Amino acid sequence: MTFLRNRAGIIIVVIIGLAIVAFLLGDVIRFGTPFWASHQNEVGNINGESLSYQEFNQQVEQSTDNMRQQMGGNMSPQMTAYAVEDAWNQNLRRLLLDKELEMIGLGVGRNELNDMVSGKNPSPMIVQNFGNPQTGEVDREQLNQFLTNIGNEPANSELSQQWSSFLMAMRDNRLQEKYNNLIQNSIYVTSLEANEDYNQRNKIANFSYVLLDYAAVQDNDVKPTDADYQKYYNEHKASFKNDMETRSFEYVVFDAQPTAQDTALAKETISKLTEELAKTTNDSLFAVSNSEQKRPIAYIKKGTLSPVLDSLVFSAAKGTTVGPVYSDGVYESAKVIDVRNSPDSVTARHILLNPTMEGGIDKAQAKADSIKNLLVDGASFAALAVEFGTDGTKDNGGELGTFARGNMIPAFEDAVFDAKPGDIFVLNTQYGVHVIKVDAQKGMSKVVKAVLIDKSVASSNETLRAAYNKASSFFGSTNGKSFADDAKKAGLTVEVADDIAPMQPQIQNLSSPRELVKWAFKAEKGELSDKVYELENQYVVARITSIRPKGQLALSDVKKEIEPAVINKVKAAKLEQQLNDALKGAKSIDEVAKKVGKTAKAEQNIVFANPIIPGVAQEDKVVGTAFGLQPKQLSKVIEGTQGVYVIEVNDFVNPPALDNIDRQKQQVGQQVKQRAANQAFQALLDKADITDNRVRFY
């Protein structure tokens, strides 16, 4: 009992502590996410608003899908990085502006939104999607028909959700427009500011100068002290702030590019395939089975293929096989199936029926024939497209616009390019049953239908294995401390990646380095990479050399990069002394020049708004000093970017008086307004509390 009494306080504290831990662990059990890992699935946090990976990745996927539709083909690492950056910037603007708009009371009400859709002055987005190409005005009949159809759609249908997203984007655009107008309308330029701007751009200074260049003093003759570094750092401290954490690493690359043997093997393979292509009777099957790019057999216009192959194909006769030819790491061959003249472009529209929705291909075909007959009898194509169409063009009257060859699937393309303007016909493709009207055709030139096969020159397994074995051997023999020495002993070149940002998509001499960057932002300073990183035909071993945190950087973080500037500062002190001695008793710039063994140089027509000394450098301090002197007055010593100066103004040429101050105010105001929106958003960014975790996921 005595033991318990003496230690009762400690025991109670322990019991309370265990109870708190149990409470927290109870929450973990109930909610399934440990409190220490509550932010593991968070891509970012913007002013307290969390962005989950699931939500953010949906936006990235939507952006990448849009890019695929616009550009076609596979997404490159650079395109994927752009999609991630685009989604991030959209969230930044949305979250930062939403709070700002709420605070100042800007909004878009229901009546205003309705007016933007169907009022007298519709939104540009409505005009773009429901406009008549001939008049540039909204097609009211088409718009009203669409609104009627939307009203009959279930709220959870795909079309209703797309329309809701469209309205939301239209609302956001209007809010952005209001916010920008609010900022721009708050800008006012005074007469004094307008006059000052006019003078800065038109008042001319003619002056002479003496320059003692920093390059005249050898770097080896200058020994900056710690005090020199500290002084420069203190004077420029505001510029040493990191907007985001950055990492630097050194690395060695083991190249696995294709060898001469790999190239010879690819050429031998494509040569055999070319011989077989010339003999085959099933061109389509052969191309699918033996081509890497698997390009469709279609009519192509001149300039579509690589230059050498293009020239051969368009000079070959029907039935001829040409190639192989080499271009950009790929061997290509072609078999010419047909040669003809064809329109350069077609303007067409269509109504697409989905056989599944119609109860089968026969019913869809019959319905398409009925629609065709209505059109032949003079029915409105746009109205029937809105009523019966099933793809994205239905809301635009079925308009496909004007397109050249290569923009549609081969079956559709052949049909519309072989038809005549005014033709209306039905066509079955893999997408469904189309009712097509050809509105116009332009131009006429030679096209060729060709079977294309290709073989890229790729690194063989032996080439890859040899490069990997070298990389693996080096990885196993080095460590974080002796990395550079071990590389030197192995005859390897150590390269440096400085200040890499978390989402940086490219690094010089490295292809697709995202996985390496993701590792770099998990590692500690001095740490060796956790494995040999395999990039495109490259194997890389790396070591973290420095980590720069977000926020104010210490002198030790920037000492290396400010070294040239600090050396120039020390040089400036020596050179200033020479010019100060030369100024004593001097009455002209020529006397100063003579004392330091120089010849004064004259400059003409220098304006304040463009502070460049021709053939020297941009010298803000020098030009600024010139406009503050009186004619024939010697300046004090000026420390510039290229060296130290003494100047003497010969004369000024004043511009004629402003004849229209209001026009000048308007011009200056317009320049300010063009920058205002971006500057306002930058101010929101600077004030925001942003955590960016994208490097964990992308």
**pLDDT for position 311:** 93
**pLDDT for position 27:** 45
**pLDDT for position 423:** 94
**pLDDT for position 405:** 85
Question: CATH number of 345-442: 3.10.50.40, 3.50.50.60, 3.10.290.10, 3.30.1360.170?
Answer: 3.10.50.40
CA-to-CA distance for 35 and 589, rounded, in angstroms? Answer: 73
Edge-first strand listing for the sheet containing 538-548: 495-500, 246-255, 538-548, 533-535
Q: Is 109 exposed, middle or buried (0-12, 13-18, 19+ CB in 10 A)?
A: exposed
Two structure tokens written together for 219: 């770097």
- Is residue 315 within 8 A of residue 369, CB to CB? The reply is no
Average confidence (pLDDT) over 194-211: 96
pLDDT tens per residue, range 464-491 = 999 999 999 999 999 888 999 999 999 9
pLDDT band at 326 (very low <50, low <70, confident <90, very high): very high
pLDDT band at 20 (very low <50, low <70, confident <90, very high): low
Two structure tokens written together for 171: 């609302």
**pLDDT for position 23:** 52
Question: CATH number of 242-257+460-552: 3.10.50, 2.30.29, 3.30.70, 3.30.1340?
Answer: 3.10.50
Average pLDDT, the chain: 89
CA distances from 479 to 253, 468, 485, 528 (A): 16, 18, 10, 6
**pLDDT for position 522:** 93
Question: CATH number of 260-341: 3.90.930, 3.40.50, 1.10.3470, 3.10.50?
Answer: 3.10.50
Average confidence (pLDDT) over 171-194: 92
Buried b / exposed e over 200-237, threshold 16 CB at 10 Å, is: eeebebbbbbbbbebeebeeeebebeeebbeebbeeee
Share of the chain above pLDDT 90, in %: 67
φ, ψ dihedrals at 154, nearest 5°: -60, 150
Q: Residue 388 corresponds to which amino acid?
A: F
**pLDDT for position 407:** 83
Cβ contacts of 600 within 8 Å, gap of 6 or more: 208, 209, 210, 589, 590, 592, 593, 648
Share of the chain above pLDDT 70, in %: 93
- Global pTM exceeds 0.85: no
Q: What are the residue ranges spanned by the domains of the chain?
A: 1-38, 106-185, 204-240+556-653, 242-257+460-552, 260-341, 345-442
Average confidence (pLDDT) over 567-587: 95
**pLDDT for position 72:** 58
φ, ψ dihedrals at 429, nearest 5°: -135, 180
pLDDT band at 74 (very low <50, low <70, confident <90, very high): low
Is the N-terminal amide bond of 324 cis, ω within 30° of 0? Answer: yes
**pLDDT for position 9:** 53
**pLDDT for position 346:** 93
Average confidence (pLDDT) over 654-661: 93
pLDDT tens per residue, range 285-301 = 999 899 998 888 888 88
**pLDDT for position 29:** 38
Please tell me the least confidently modeled range out of 160-164, 237-241, 423-427, 636-640. Answer: 160-164
CA-to-CA distance for 278 and 326, rounded, in angstroms? Answer: 19
**pLDDT for position 39:** 62
pLDDT band at 520 (very low <50, low <70, confident <90, very high): very high
- Is residue 288 within 8 A of residue 294, CB to CB? The reply is yes
Domain 204-240+556-653 has CATH 1.10.8: no
Q: Tell whether the model's pLDDT for residue 31 goes beyond 50.
A: no
CA distances from 448 to 157, 286, 308 (A): 44, 19, 15
Residue that the structure tokens 């050498």 belong to: 308
Q: Tell whether the model's pLDDT for residue 406 goes beyond 90.
A: no
CA-to-CA distance for 447 and 453, rounded, in angstroms? Answer: 18
CA-to-CA distance for 698 and 696, rounded, in angstroms? Answer: 6
pLDDT band at 410 (very low <50, low <70, confident <90, very high): confident
- What's the length of the chain? 698
Establish whether domains 242-257+460-552 and 345-442 are of one fold.
yes
Which residues on neighbouring strands pair with residue 310, listed in sequence order?
A: none
Q: Tell whether the model's pLDDT for residue 79 goes beyond 90.
A: no
CA-to-CA distance for 36 and 64, rounded, in angstroms? Answer: 33
Average confidence (pLDDT) over 368-387: 90
Please tell me what DSSP assigns to residue 215.
G
Please tell me what DSSP assigns to residue 136.
-
Q: Are strands 42-46 and 690-692 parallel, antiparallel or unpaired?
A: antiparallel
Q: Tell whether the model's pLDDT for residue 73 goes beyond 70.
A: no
Q: Tell whether the model's pLDDT for residue 15 goes beyond 60.
A: no
Two structure tokens written together for 185: 């309308």
